[in-house]
């Protein structure tokens, strides 16, 4: 099982040591406590548990393990947090990963990158030196392309020839097969003939986050179709996981905590030329969870700046549509509009739509006056607002049409909004657009979509005991992985504070941002996490034969059980603190722990609304 590195890092890192390096911790019984690093406080409510290698703050509710701690305090994504902790623990992350990887596959990928880099150099050389590229140079000049920026981006020109690149490489000991594999030559099935894929086009090398050339986007010079041609899928070129110019934008994205996604390579290029460095271009698929997974940690805001000429108004919607489709590219299921809003929520960042004046794309718009750009971002509108105004305006005035629009278009979106304040804002907006009363919209949201839903009430029935369920968190995640479609409806009911293991959190986020397609969810995860998820799945398959009764219906029960487990252990902790405070006659600490009990009691309401025989009434326990 290839979960090695991560496990080794976990084993070699003591959570008390790690946190104790920054936070003064004092031992109390089997746990340690100190002032919370995540919120400001005068008396310690941050508790570190060496046994479970986790922490919990009774003040602000932050929980997690060593990885979450580093991700949150150092503002890093999982991969970088793993690197930092591996370094600290003296674990050779790179070499272990290399060993685990197929060295042959690595060589193949390196070879493909190398060919793409050499092709980029070839195209660039043609662009700036060849007489055949004079028209291309003129086009770039007319468009105001600055040579220095163009060279930095490696812009080039593919000559109007079927064998310019092919001839260049064949004379340098590269084989046709290698060029086909790199996506640089096209091969005809019938007779095996090959020719240059890119001809008479301006070429944009597409680089991964690390800045390695993995393929090309190429723009037609004239009216040739398609206007943009990309490298075909290769082992290193996957449109759905790439964003053009992310390597150049990466630092600015982290610094500004925002990213702007435009449609065209020229749009991204123009932005960078004028110093707007957090701009990237989508690869024709608008936005996928996989693309965003590498930056989600670093952004609070994602701007979608899409063309808005006559066709572009549609393109904006299409952009969003294809974004939704990309959740489910391979399974072709109908994607509900609410998924996008759900995606926004799991992304943990606000998605805003930038509407440019009629007929303008970002390239024109920035070049006309660079000061336009910040202004356009400032006047962007939130995704939900954009969605509601587009789908609800122009609805027939008939009561039936308005009721259907409410039920089919608005409710699925509104139901995905987590924050009650935000929700009431959009309920009012929907009511205004459809000429209903707020209360009517609210009632529709509470009723939910018209389609029959799976019975989602988390059965107040007794929680079944399974030998496989010793760790309720792991058990829950395994169930979610086994029933990803059923999981979609249930994930919102999981309190993230109850999930302590970073791996489990990332898997849950990954599942939440897809349409229930497990492979898509796994593809968006770091490889260690994906490997771990697969190991949970295969274990569960082994167990499935012994416990065939475990079905998706157990998901709500497992969520509830996890909530109970966390609740009980937190309650035990507070009770013992309270006891100690009473014995010491520490009035302030007594008051504080009683407050914590009340907070816990409130949270208990959310997963166990009714009085249950399994719980003592904690309010009476206090008195
Ligand atoms: Zn806190």
Whether pLDDT at 619 is above 60? no
The larger pLDDT score, comparing residue 271 to residue 386, is at 271
Query: How many angstroms separate the alpha carbon of residue 41 from the centre of ligand 1?
Result: 8
Contacts of 236 (CB under 8 A, 6+ apart): 109, 112, 113, 116, 208, 214, 215
Query: How many angstroms separate the alpha carbon of residue 615 from the centre of ligand 1?
Result: 26
Whether pLDDT at 177 is above 70? yes
pLDDT digits (tens, 9 = 90+) for 489-510: 888 889 888 999 999 999 998 8
| CA–CA–CA angle 330, 336, 341 (5° rounding) | 105
Stated as kind and residue range, the H or E segment containing 588 is: helix 587-607
Query: How many angstroms separate the alpha carbon of residue 538 from the centre of ligand 1?
Result: 37
User: Looking at residues 595-612, what average pLDDT do you find?
Assistant: 71
For the chain, percent of residues with pLDDT exceeding 70: 81
Query: How many angstroms separate the alpha carbon of residue 257 from the centre of ligand 1?
Result: 23
Query: How many angstroms separate the alpha carbon of residue 44 from the centre of ligand 1?
Result: 9
DSSP state, residue 397: S
Q: What is the pLDDT at residue 347?
A: 66
Whether pLDDT at 453 is above 50? no
The DSSP result for 120-166, as a single string, is HHHHHHHHHH-GGGHHHHHHHHHTT--HHHHHHHT-EEE-S-SSHHH
Q: What is the pLDDT at residue 333?
A: 27
pLDDT digits (tens, 9 = 90+) for 214-272: 999 999 897 777 777 888 888 888 776 788 999 999 999 989 999 998 878 899 999 99
Query: How many angstroms separate the alpha carbon of residue 40 from the centre of ligand 1?
Result: 7
Q: What is the pLDDT at residue 287?
A: 59
Query: How many angstroms separate the alpha carbon of residue 210 from the centre of ligand 1?
Result: 35
Q: What is the pLDDT at residue 550?
A: 55
Query: How many angstroms separate the alpha carbon of residue 34 from the centre of ligand 1?
Result: 10
| CA 231 – CA 215 distance, rounded (Å) | 6
**pLDDT classification of 80: cutoffs 50, 70, 90:** confident
| CA–CA–CA angle 434, 440, 441 (5° rounding) | 60
Query: How many angstroms separate the alpha carbon of residue 599 from the centre of ligand 1?
Result: 14
Stated as kind and residue range, the H or E segment containing 110 is: helix 103-129
User: Looking at residues 476-483, what average pLDDT do you find?
Assistant: 89
Whether pLDDT at 36 is above 90? yes
User: Does pTM top 0.75 for this prediction?
Assistant: no
Query: How many angstroms separate the alpha carbon of residue 47 from the centre of ligand 1?
Result: 9
Which residue, among 222, 308, 296, has the nearest Cα to 264 in the 3D structure?
308
Whether pLDDT at 67 is above 60? yes
**Per-chain mean pLDDT for the chain:** 81
């Amino acid at each position: 099982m290839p979960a090695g590195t991560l496990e080794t890092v976990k084993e070699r890192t003591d959570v008390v040591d790690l946190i104790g390096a920054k936070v003064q911790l004092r031992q109390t019984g089997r746990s340690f406590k100190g002032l919370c690093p995540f919120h400001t406080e005068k008396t310690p409510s941050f508790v570190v548990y060496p046994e479970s290698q986790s922490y919990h703050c009774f003040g602000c509710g932050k929980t997690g393990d060593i990885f979450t701690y580093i991700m949150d305090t150092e503002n890093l994504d999982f991969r970088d947090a793993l690197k930092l902790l591996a370094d600290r623990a003296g674990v050779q992350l790179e070499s272990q990963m290399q060993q685990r990887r197929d060295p042959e596959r690595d060589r193949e990928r390196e070879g493909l990158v190398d060919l793409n880099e050499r092709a980029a150099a070839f195209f660039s050389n043609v662009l700036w030196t060849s007489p055949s590229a004079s028209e291309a140079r003129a086009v770039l000049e007319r468009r105001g392309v600055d040579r220095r920026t163009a060279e930095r981006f490696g812009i080039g020109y593919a000559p109007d020839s079927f064998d310019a690149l092919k001839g260049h490489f064949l004379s340098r000991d590269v084989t046709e097969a290698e060029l086909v594999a790199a996506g640089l030559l096209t091969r005809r099935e019938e007779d095996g003939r090959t020719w240059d894929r890119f001809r008479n086009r301006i070429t944009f090398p597409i680089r991964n986050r690390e800045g390695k050339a993995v393929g090309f986007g190429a723009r037609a010079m004239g009216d040739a179709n398609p206007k943009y041609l990309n490298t075909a899928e290769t082992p290193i070129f996957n449109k759905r996981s790439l964003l053009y110019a992310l390597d150049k934008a990466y630092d600015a994205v982290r610094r500004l905590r925002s990213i702007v996604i435009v449609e065209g390579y020229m749009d991204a290029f123009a932005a960078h030329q004028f110093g707007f460095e957090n701009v990237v271009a989508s690869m024709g698929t608008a936005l996928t969870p996989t693309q965003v997974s590498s930056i989600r940690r670093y952004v609070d805001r994602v701007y979608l700046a899409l063309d808005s000429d006559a066709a572009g108004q549609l393109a904006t919607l299409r952009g969003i549509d294809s974004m939704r489709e990309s959740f489910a590219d391979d399974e072709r299921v109908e994607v509900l509009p609410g998924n996008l809003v759900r995606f926004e929520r799991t992304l943990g960042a606000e998605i805003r739509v930038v509407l440019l004046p009629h007929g303008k794309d970002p390239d024109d718009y920035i070049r006309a006056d660079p000061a336009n750009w910040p202004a356009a971002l400032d006047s962007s509108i939130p995704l939900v607002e954009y969605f509601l105004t587009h789908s609800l305006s122009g609805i027939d005035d008939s009561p039936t049409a308005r009721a259907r629009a409410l039920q089919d278009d608005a409710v699925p979106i509104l139901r995905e909004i987590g924050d009650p304040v935000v929700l009431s804002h959009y309920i009012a907006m929907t009511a205004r657009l459809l000429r209903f009363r707020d209360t009517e919209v609210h009632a529709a949201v509470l009723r939910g979509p018209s389609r029959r839903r799976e019975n989602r009430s988390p059965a107040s029935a007794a929680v079944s005991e399974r030998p496989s369920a010793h760790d309720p968190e792991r058990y829950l995640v395994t169930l979610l992985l086994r029933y990803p479609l059923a999981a979609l409806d249930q994930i919102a009911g999981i309190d993230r504070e109850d999930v302590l293991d970073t791996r489990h959190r990332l898997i849950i986020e990954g599942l939440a941002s897809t349409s229930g397609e497990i492979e898509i969810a796994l593809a968006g995860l770091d490889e260690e996490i994906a490997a771990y998820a697969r190991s949970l799945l295969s274990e569960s398959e082994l167990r499935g034969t012994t416990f065939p009764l475990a079905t998706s219906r157990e998901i709500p029960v497992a969520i509830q059980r996890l909530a109970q487990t966390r609740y009980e252990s937190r309650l035990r902790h507070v009770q013992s603190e309270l006891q100690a405070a009473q014995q010491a006659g520490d009035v302030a600490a007594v008051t504080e722990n009683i407050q914590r009990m009340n907070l816990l009691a409130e949270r208990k309401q959310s997963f166990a609304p009714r009085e249950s025989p399994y719980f003592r009434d904690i309010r009476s326990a206090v008195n």
